[in-house]
Amino acid sequence: MHDILDLDRFPLHRPNSPEWRTLVKQCRADLRAEGMFNLDGLMRPAIAAQAVKEMEDPFQSDAFLHERMHNIYFKPVEDLPPDHAALTTFQTSNKTLCADQIPGSALLRLYEWPEFAQFLAATIEMPQLYVMADPLARVNVMSYQKGQALNWHFDRSEFTTTLLLQAPDHGGGFEYRTDLRSDTDPNYDGVAKLLRGEDPTSNIITLTPGTLNVFKGKNTAHRVTPVLGDTNRVIAVFSFFEQPDVQFSESERLGFYGRAS
Ligand SMILES: O=C(O)CCC(=O)C(=O)O
Ligand SMILES: [Fe+2]
């Protein structure tokens, strides 16, 4: 893994060593304080750039154009009237490649490296994390060109793990509002306020290539703002769950990837 990751700064290959424990402690503190942590330059920038180059053709010919209007839940909500402000819909548009379209990539190597899941589980204080069984959803790579965006949503998994491969010239910021809801309180009024642009506690950050970003995606509302300029924003998303063998449903796969298998 030394060839693709900066393990001198981030010793993921030495679980439970004093340096590994120090790093885990720092990540836990950042998660508590900010709902997020970043490992800036975990993947070597040259490897990230090479991955982008290798995916140019598949993005041109095989990628799914994920383009739709959706609400923050990606579905109707039974407790809410359809005209409730928490169900406001927005446009998403990006191109998505799935794990089955990037065989042999550095991204899949990282995803399947057991020390990666072990490190992530320690940072989020869970006993263990498992890779998905879903052949499409395990690792996704999204490319956003000028004008494209991923709009407000919550994720399915507790935590979300991304790695930026290429930064846009402008725009393409990651905007998030930590703990907008909880597992017991959907906070529909707070959601409506955020969607009206009236939540002063939302933050926006830009990532640099090679940075690992981990945040509490299930209860953190988040979006990617429209990309500006001619350089695409390219980002990998790794999906881990607390249970083994998780798969998306057929309708989720159709919605996100335009195909079920
Ligand atoms: O592109 C990003 O930074 C976030 C991606 C994301 O939120 C998702 O795939 O669910
Ligand atoms: Fe997300």
Cβ of 224 below 6 Å from ligand 1: yes
Task: Compute the distance between CA of residue 259 and CA of residue 31 in angstroms, rounded to an integer.
Answer: 35
Element (H, E) at 232: none
Task: Please tell me the distance between residue 98's alpha carbon and the centre of ligand 1 in angstroms.
Answer: 14
User: Is there a contact between 147 and 223 (Cβ–Cβ < 8 Å)?
Assistant: no
Identify the CA nearest to 254 among candidates 100, 90, 136: 136
Rg of the chain in Å (alpha carbons): 18
Question: What would the two tokens of residue 226 be?
Answer: 């429209």
**Is residue 6 included in any domain, yes or no?**
no
Q: What is the pTM of this model?
A: 0.96
**Is residue 22 included in any domain, yes or no?**
yes
**Is residue 38 included in any domain, yes or no?**
yes
> Looking at this predicted complex, what is its ipTM?
0.98
- Count of domains observed in the chain: 1
**Is residue 9 included in any domain, yes or no?**
no
| Cβ atoms within 10 Å of 155's Cβ, excluding its own | 18
User: Is there a contact between 154 and 187 (Cβ–Cβ < 8 Å)?
Assistant: no
Cβ of 166 below 6 Å from ligand 1: no
Residue 157's pLDDT is: 84
**Is residue 64 included in any domain, yes or no?**
yes
Residue 110 region by backbone torsions, left for phi larger than 0, else alpha for psi between -120 and 50, else beta: alpha
CATH number at residue 205: 2.60.120.620
Judged on CB neighbours under 10 Å (0-12, 13-18, 19+), 151 is: buried
Digit-coded pLDDT (tens) for 86-141 = 999 999 999 999 999 999 999 999 999 999 999 999 999 999 999 999 999 999 99
Cβ of 167 below 6 Å from ligand 1: no
Task: Please tell me the distance between residue 75's alpha carbon and the centre of ligand 2 in angstroms.
Answer: 15
By three-state DSSP, how is residue 117 classified? helix
Task: Please tell me the distance between residue 213's alpha carbon and the centre of ligand 2 in angstroms.
Answer: 12
Digit-coded pLDDT (tens) for 180-218 = 999 999 999 999 999 999 999 999 999 999 999 999 999
How far CA 54 is from CA of 51, 136, 214, 232, in Å, comes to 5, 18, 25, 14
Mutate to test the pocket of ligand 1, among 174, 204, 256 (most ligand atoms within 8 A of CB): 174
Cβ of 150 below 6 Å from ligand 1: yes
Task: Compute the distance between CA of residue 187 and CA of residue 67 in angstroms, rounded to an integer.
Answer: 27
**Residue numbers of the domain that contains 102:** 18-257
Task: Please tell me the distance between residue 159's alpha carbon and the centre of ligand 2 in angstroms.
Answer: 9
Residue 184's pLDDT is: 97
